[in-house]
Amino acid sequence: MTIEQVPTWQQPSHPDFIAVETYKSGSFSKYATASTRIPSGTTIAEFATTATPATDKAYSSLQVSETEHIELNSDLLYSNHSCDPNVIFDTDAQVVTTIRDIEEGEPITFNYLSTEWDMAQAFKCECGSKQCLGEIQGAKHVPTKALEGYFLNNHIKRLLEKRDGSSR
């Protein structure tokens, strides 16, 4: 079964940096790639202007606080998960920034655990990274030690502190 989200926004939404490609097979039909070579440290998108509050968490939403989710309403929706990501979604600054150089055509990926506490739709990660975390269900389901070295948004850090009963 192919899951298809019909865009409600004008495409391409971020043509300077993001292209949307179509998978030849698999569960999801589209994914975001770099439309050009992007140096590390580049802000490739701001999502404050396109995002809208989500009524509930969904596979398409992004968690931005301990209790709130948003719909991105842009081609950022097609950014997939990787345990070795090339961008971060900073929910405080509401920007997407590269954390390493990205080559043209390379998929745009972020670590879903950096934003999601308890995901609406868990999945088996197939990123192929040496540090692959396996089943991705949200940061709630991962030992804090396993998350060390990853960028985590402040709401995830706070939720981990509450869960673990200490401050980091």
Rounded mean pLDDT of the chain? 90
Q: How confident is the model at residue 12 (pLDDT cuts 50, 70, 90)?
A: low
Tell me the helices (H) and strands (E) count for the chain, helix number first: 2, 12
Q: What is the mean pLDDT of residues 89-99?
A: 98
Domain containing 35 — which CATH number? 2.170.270.10
What element of type H or E holds 30?
Answer: strand 30-34
- Asked whether residue 156 is assigned to any structural domain, the reply reads yes
Q: Enter the pTM of the model.
A: 0.88
Residue found under tokens 């050009």: 36
Give me the domain span that covers residue 39: 18-162
Taking the alpha carbons of 35, 84, 163, 168 in that order, is the dihedral positive or negative? negative
Number of domains in the chain: 1
Three-state secondary structure call for residue 88: strand
Beta strand 43-46 with 18-22 is: unpaired
What tens digit of pLDDT does each residue of 108-160 get? 999 999 999 999 999 999 999 999 999 999 999 999 999 999 999 999 999 99
